[in-house]
Amino acid sequence: MTELAKIGVILLSGGLDSMVTAALAKEQGYRLHALTIDYGQRHVRELQSARAIADKLGVERHVSLPLDLRQFGKSALTDDIDVPKSGVGNDIPVTYVPARNLLFLALTTAFAESAGSSDIFIGVNALDYSGYPDCRPEFIASFAETARLGTKQGVEGSPFEIHAPLQHMTKAEIARECARLGLDASWSWSCYDPTADGLACGLCDSCRLRRKGLAEAGVVDSTRYAATPDRA
């Protein structure tokens, strides 16, 4: 890693996908700057994982930015609404946070432009996911064009590239990347609704997708779960 290496700016939630994305950026030779948003999520535990991952991966600059989305409301992740536990469905679930990735990508773009970087990394995934519209490739592509038009950096000829290396991977493929890159899955945190004593619930969409993916890939995860679903 030389002084001449480019800066890659990672949206680092602390989950499995953003951890693998950050490690892929590092493998490609980027110097890592990471942004974590402390948005009033009920799984505030993921912020602790984001710090641990940043430390393990040698992130040069890690900003954990408070942004209280509880002031807007209307999501099970920020409000007093129950997190669904009955399995991954086909509709957009109540854990959807209004315009979250639009907002988080905009924040990451502002962070990247301030750092003089045009490489943004995000761990979105449109295969084994919860059906959030802001994980789809057409959204990511449209965002890149909007960021080009709306920034000094874009206008002056160095548009942002939005790297989404997990976009077309299954959760099992992501789990295999996790192992290949020498990452410990338990550094990351996925559960939306941790128990009072700090265990992953085991039943929310995010726990289900994580466990299924890691199991299919044969990857060990020492995360402790409070419950095991009857079916995935």
Among 13, 36, 151, 188, binds a copy of itself (CB under 8 A): 151
- Ligand-binding annotation for 201, yes or no, is yes
How far is Cα 187 from Cα 195, in angstroms, rounded to an integer?
18
What is the distance between the alpha carbons of residues 20 and 1, in angstroms, rounded to a whole number?
19
Which C-beta is closer to a copy of itself: that of 44 or that of 92?
92
Name the residue nearer to a copy of itself (CB basis): 66 or 182. Answer: 66
Q: Which of 87, 89, 133, 198 binds a copy of itself (CB under 8 A)?
A: 133
Kindly state the number of chain residues that form the binding site for a copy of itself, as judged by CB under 8 A: 47
The burial class, CB within 10 Å (0-12 / 13-18 / 19+), for 21 is: buried
- Examine residue 154 and tell whether it contacts a copy of itself (CB under 8 A): yes
Contact status, residue 75 vs residue 95, Cβ threshold 8 Å? yes
Residues 155-174 that bind a copy of itself (CB under 8 A): 155-156
Alpha helices for the chain (secondary structure H): 16-27, 45-56, 100-115, 137-149, 152-155, 171-180, 205-217
Binding flag, residue 102, a copy of itself (CB under 8 A): yes
Residue found under tokens 């996925």: 190
Of 104 and 189, the one with the shorter C-beta distance to a copy of itself is 104
Is residue 205 at the binding interface for a copy of itself, with CB under 8 A as the rule?
no
Pick the binder of a copy of itself from 2, 82, 90, 152 (CB under 8 A): 152
Alpha carbon distances (Å) from 123 to 12, 16, 22, 68 = 8, 9, 8, 22
HEC profile for 49-84?
HHHHHHHHCCCCEEEEEECCHHHCCCCCCCCCCCCC
Interaction between residue 55 and a copy of itself (CB under 8 A): no
DSSP state of 166: T
* Phi, psi (deg, nearest 5) at residue 191: -60, 135
81 binds a copy of itself (CB under 8 A): no
Please pick, from the candidates 17, 46, 128, 134, the single residue that binds a copy of itself as defined by CB under 8 A. 134
Residue ranges for the binding site? 12-22, 191, 201, 204, 207
Residues that bind a copy of itself (CB under 8 A): 63, 65-69, 71-75, 92, 96-103, 105-107, 109-111, 113-115, 133-134, 136, 138-139, 142-143, 145-147, 149-156
